[in-house]
Amino acid sequence: MAPIDSPLTLSLALLACWAVVGAAGLLRPHSVALVGRVLFPLGAIVGVGLAIVAALSLTEPVEHATLHIGLPDLPMHVRLDNLSRVFLALLGSASAGVSLFAAGYFRKGEGTAPGVMGLQYHLFLASMGFVLVADDAYAFMVAWETMALTSYFLVTAQHGIPEIRSAGFLYLLMAHVGAIAILLSFGILQGGTWLFSFDAMRESTLSTPWATAAFLLALFGFGAKAGLLPLHVWLPEAHPAAPSPVSALMSGVMLKTAIYGVLRVTFDLIGDPLWWWGLIPLALGLATAIFGVVFAAVQTDMKRLLAYSSVENIGVLFTGIGLAIVFHGVGMTELAALALVAVLYHSINHAFMKSLLFLGTGAVLHATGERNLGRLGGLIHRMPWAAWLTLVGVLAIAGLPPLNGFVSEWLLLQTFLFSHEVPQPFVNMLLPLGAAIVALAAALAGYVMVKFFGIVFLGQPRESSLAVAHDVDGFEKAGLVWLAIGCVLLGLLPNQVIHALGAATEQLVGAAPNLAGQSWWMLAPLTERDVSYAPLVLLAVIVAVVAATFLIVRIVYRRPVRRAPTWDCGFGRLDPRMQDTAEGFGQPIRHIFVSFFEMERDLPSPHDQAPRYRVKVSDRFWKGVYLPIAALLARAANSVAWLQQGRISVYLTYSFITLVLLLAVML
């Protein structure tokens, strides 16, 4: 057993604290004061503690422990290594902001009682943490399923609404299909030893076909959790259905447990992945990225838009994983490490920025009761705090320097630039195409974010009810500020972050990006090339240019600022309904990528007195993949449905015949 003050013991104790904090909510389940003002902030403190413990222990050796909890004679193994530490730090730090926001968010009379909600929320956090430290298949699956179940209940918090119930069902279904694949993958990985501890899996050697099968099953299972194409359909349904802090946790943190799982299985449990495996997540990741961002561009519901944007980011992450596998497989460990750093960095970044954005939509939703982009607008005047903090997240996720989203995407593109050195002729010709797709996805992500921010916060309010919108305050503001600061710091201090992440890549692929001898403010991931990035200098330049522009304008133009209505081109009165709409903004994308969509459009006739334009964009995968599978299942079920007679005596006869046959055969 590990000593009492070891990071592993502390981490486990903090996870237990989350469970206790959650359970305390049951004392007075309907008290918003207790659950909101006391327990959620406590949960945030635990999160900060977990992040600190994990981050400070990054260079320490691997720790093991055996927990005798749960079933007798079936102990749970736990292990704290650098990969776990990176993800625990992500979990703790990002969830701290979300918990702070949630402290001010949950109100009375919205679906599940606050105390029950708090229990589910904190168990969700604790189970995600336990997924990250589990060191045998049993502990992993228990934690994984707890995570799926608690998040299911959180998604269906407002279970009175049929759409939310069906979204929850779809989510639970996909989660279980994925879990079965993961379980089967573990079943292969144990390699005939029938020992399900991860240590045994590390030591067992598998033949190539079996190792490939294990990898593909893990990719399927974790891909289903992450929302990898074509297993993404649940994500745009379930994430928007949940209350905003839960959406933030699911998009920001839970998807990363799937990334963790893929990394764990591929680089740790299988150990030496073949290079061509990488092409699968690479291709799927690129497809997912472009698909997600194109769909995000045409959404009219702000939370669905963000959910599709999460799909895009998952695609980017899987692209990075694929690259890392390819590089590792052909022996270019330095580049594999760089790709992995990009993946880990982007995971952390996405956790912060997507949580920030989802919480921003939560603030808007609470202030206006509206999720439809077509009914929002001009909120920057009413909700300056929410707007400016969301702007930080928007700029970050659009990949603009000096914020964090830029760094990780830049790193990934840098990695792509070296792919021509891969000693596989076709691969090194095709990989630059991947770089182009990533760049396209990044650019379109910028477009999506302009749409999101511009339509929600800028312009004029499209509805009169928006005039009473109130800004965030107290805990909600604190949560947003925490995440925004995270986005800024992660952007300004890339060297420090990469150095820390190097500890994890060292463990996974045996190499870390070489930053020795570099100045602390200048990032040059591969020293032999002359590419470098100095965020602080860039920030200083930006500040200087802005200040100079401001001063020059002030000096040149001395008259007072005059406010007047927008020029209406002589058309008469302009009203807020004439602003560009979400549909209008997305139209060019819908036009260019028309083959991606299944579209239903009602165009009004020119003589219509009350014209209505309606467009419904749906996912081709739904019709092309899911409905045929569902129909097939229904047919198969119907063909054995005659077994169900509804009569107990018939069922008993089945049992009787089975028993007699078994007895007769076995003896």
Partner 1 sequence: MQHTPFDLQLLNACAAILLLLSFAMLAQRRIVALVNLLALQGAMLFIATMLLAWRTGQNHLYVSAALTLGLKVIALPWLLHMLIKRLNVQWDSEPLLNVPGTMLIGLVTVVFSFGLAQPIAELASTATRNSLGIAVAVILLAFITMITRRKAMSQVVGFLSMENGLFFGAMSATYGMPMIVEFGVALDVLVAMLVLGVFFFQIREQFDSLDLHHLESLKEDQ
Whichever of 548 and 652 has its CB closer to partner 1, that residue is 652
In whole angstroms, how close is the CB of 656 to partner 1 at the nearest point? 5
Whichever of 468 and 664 has its CB closer to partner 1, that residue is 664
231 Cα distance to chain centroid: 14
In whole angstroms, how close is the CB of 664 to partner 1 at the nearest point? 7
Q: Are 356 and 389 in contact (CB under 8 A)?
A: yes
Distance separating alpha carbons of residues 375 and 364, to the nearest angstrom:
12
Tokens 């596998």 correspond to 325
Q: Are 199 and 134 in contact (CB under 8 A)?
A: no
Whichever of 603 and 659 has its CB closer to partner 1, that residue is 659
The residue among 290, 289, 281, 287 whose CA lies nearest residue 327 is: 281
In whole angstroms, how close is the CB of 660 to partner 1 at the nearest point? 7
In whole angstroms, how close is the CB of 639 to partner 1 at the nearest point? 11
Instruction: Provide the pairing of β-strand 614-619 with 597-602.
Output: antiparallel
In whole angstroms, how close is the CB of 165 to partner 1 at the nearest point? 19
208 Cα distance to chain centroid: 32
Q: Is 204 helix (H, G, I), strand (E, B) or coil?
A: coil
In whole angstroms, how close is the CB of 631 to partner 1 at the nearest point? 15
Distance separating alpha carbons of residues 352 and 553, to the nearest angstrom:
36
Distance separating alpha carbons of residues 431 and 422, to the nearest angstrom:
9
**Cα three-residue angle 183-253-359, rounded to 5 degrees:** 145
- Rounded to a whole number, what is the largest CA-CA distance in the chain? 104
Q: Are 101 and 475 in contact (CB under 8 A)?
A: yes
In whole angstroms, how close is the CB of 75 to partner 1 at the nearest point? 22
Which residues make beta-bridge pairs with 64?
A: 79
The pair of structure tokens assigned to 522 is: 């200048």
The residue among 130, 96, 173 whose CA lies nearest residue 485 is: 96
Whichever of 566 and 638 has its CB closer to partner 1, that residue is 638
Whichever of 595 and 649 has its CB closer to partner 1, that residue is 649
In whole angstroms, how close is the CB of 633 to partner 1 at the nearest point? 15
In whole angstroms, how close is the CB of 172 to partner 1 at the nearest point? 20
Whichever of 622 and 656 has its CB closer to partner 1, that residue is 656
Q: CA dist 199 to 6, 64, 194, 366, Å? A: 21, 10, 12, 48
Whichever of 541 and 662 has its CB closer to partner 1, that residue is 662
Whichever of 169 and 621 has its CB closer to partner 1, that residue is 169
The pair of structure tokens assigned to 49 is: 């503690």
Whichever of 610 and 663 has its CB closer to partner 1, that residue is 663
Q: CA dist 660 to 475, 648, 656, 666, 667, Å? A: 66, 18, 6, 10, 11
Q: What residue ranges bind partner 1 (CB under 8 A)? A: 638, 641, 644-649, 652-653, 655-656, 659-660, 663-664, 667
The residue among 348, 655, 611 whose CA lies nearest residue 490 is: 348
Write down the H helix ranges in 493-619.
494-509, 535-556, 582-592
Provide φ and ψ at 349, rounded to 5°: -60, -50
Whichever of 605 and 655 has its CB closer to partner 1, that residue is 655
In whole angstroms, how close is the CB of 489 to partner 1 at the nearest point? 56
Whichever of 520 and 654 has its CB closer to partner 1, that residue is 654
Q: Is 260 helix (H, G, I), strand (E, B) or coil?
A: helix
What totals of helices (H) and strands (E) does the chain contain, helices first? 26, 4
In whole angstroms, how close is the CB of 525 to partner 1 at the nearest point? 60
